[in-house]
A and B are shown apart, each in its own frame.
Chain A
């Protein structure tokens, strides 16, 4: 159990760090093209329903082609898979919806706008 617990925690941490790394790289690519880029936003964040959002992302990206399976609830296998979207535009007033959200005690609130 100890090994499984540590590996599970490590897997979650590594997946998040990889997501952050990709976010920085993609943002940089857009910046080089003169476009502002939002923070990554995943199905299940805030009021984006996990099941509906995941279905939309899968319809667009077709991750089944790399053996990622989606459940109707929005869960995925492999378990540490992450889906996310970023918005690139000439002008972005906010990089996340957090500044517009009234839930100031949200533990996931991101203040960079």
Chain B
């Protein structure tokens, strides 16, 4: 049923309803009730709703510089995981700058420099890209010693500790 902007529901009420909806979807995903496809459907609906109301109402996440720079490292073209993570982060209220796939180290570093984002998120599905990822992480830390770095992909769960000797986090795909 088409809903027009002149119906007796304010844009703020619609936005609040969308936010409650995506929050419930996020909770169900975290509990394992929703699988990835379910959560992606919820994100699509949330985005459609935001695009519809598009009334200039600013949410806390819509203002300010990007908080997370995310991309797939050079030499890798697998970006579905990165796209999912970026969408989930945006639906969770974060401002995300997605720099794409097969991204040169310089592009990541320039984005970090320009946005001053506190988080750099790197994605790869391959083992042959890890050496360059290690280089990029070192360069990012030299540039921004305070930056937090997220690394994710299929193989990296077992290899993360090798990369920088720290603990791993669960990846989005279980």
Contacts and interface: CB of A to CB of B under 8 A. Distances in A.
Interface of A: 1-2, 4-6, 8, 44, 49-51, 71-77, 79
Given A2-B37, A50-B128, A79 B78 contact: yes
A71 B40 contact: no
Contact of A77 (B36, B44, B77, B126): B77
A75 B126 contact: yes
Most buried by A among B74, B76, B126: B126
A81 to B, nearest CB: 10
Interface residues of B, number: 20
Nearest to B91: A1
B37 A6 contact: yes
Interface string B69-88: 00000111110100110010
A2 B76 contact: no
A2 B75 contact: no
A74 B80 contact: no
B129 interface: yes
B102 interface: yes
Interface of B: 36-37, 40-41, 43-44, 74-78, 80, 83-84, 87, 102, 126-129
Contacts of B102: 71, 75
A75 B76 CA distance: 6
Given A2-B40, A2-B44, A79 B77 contact: yes
Given A51-B128, A74-B128, A5 B75 contact: no
Contacts of B87: 1
A6 B74 CA distance: 25
A79 to B, nearest CB: 5
A71 B83 contact: no
